[in-house]
Amino acid sequence: MIERTLVLLKPDCIADRHCGDVISRFEASGLEIVGCKMMLLANEVLAEHYAHVMDRPFYPELKSFMQSSPVIALALSGENAVALVRDLMGPTDSRKAPKGTIRGDFGKDTMVNVVHGSDSPENAVLELKRFFAERELFEFTAKR
């Protein structure tokens, strides 16, 4: 099934100049970019996006990490895009992520882990709405 999913390239990805590498992996796996923008995450957006970890002791540090620079938000489209992106990312803790995954190759630890990817098709729909206006998302399959 063709799905869309939300990816965020986190501040460490930008600072370490890994955006190109990460996007290349998504493209090489057959995913297409159907939305893209750089943005500073406002408090409210971040609080919604990370509502499920808001009560955890690490939230203040996560908040300051995620607001330490802009992030790059991507909407990616393709066959099973949600699960495919999660597979390419690897698990949350970069130190436990296998080599060959994005977090395993470029991440530092559990917090500083290069990318966000939606964890279910339902959340992907909600998250895309959170980060993109409808007119900022494109249906296209590029003509080759």
Catalytic residues: 116
Q: Which is nearer to ligand IDP, 36 or 111 (CB)?
A: 111
Binding segment toward ligand IDP, per CB under 6 A, in 12-20, 31-39, 113-121, 129-137: 113-121
SS3 content of the chain, % helix, strand, coil (to 5): 40, 20, 35
- Residue 14 contacts ligand IDP per CB under 6 A: no
Binding segment toward ligand IDP, per CB under 6 A, in 1-9, 15-23, 32-40, 112-120: 112-120
Contact map string, positions 97 to 126, toward Mg ion, x by CB under 5 A = ----------------------x-------
- Residue (of 75, 76, 78) closest to 1 by Cα position: 78
Q: Which residues of 62-96 are buried (b: 16+ CB within 10 A; e: fewer)?
A: bbebbeeeebbbbbbbbebbbebbbebbbbeebee
- Residue 32 contacts ligand IDP per CB under 6 A: no
Beta bridge partners of 117: 7
Residues of the shown chain interacting with ligand IDP in the complex, contacts defined by CB under 6 A = 53, 58, 62, 92, 110-111, 113, 116, 119
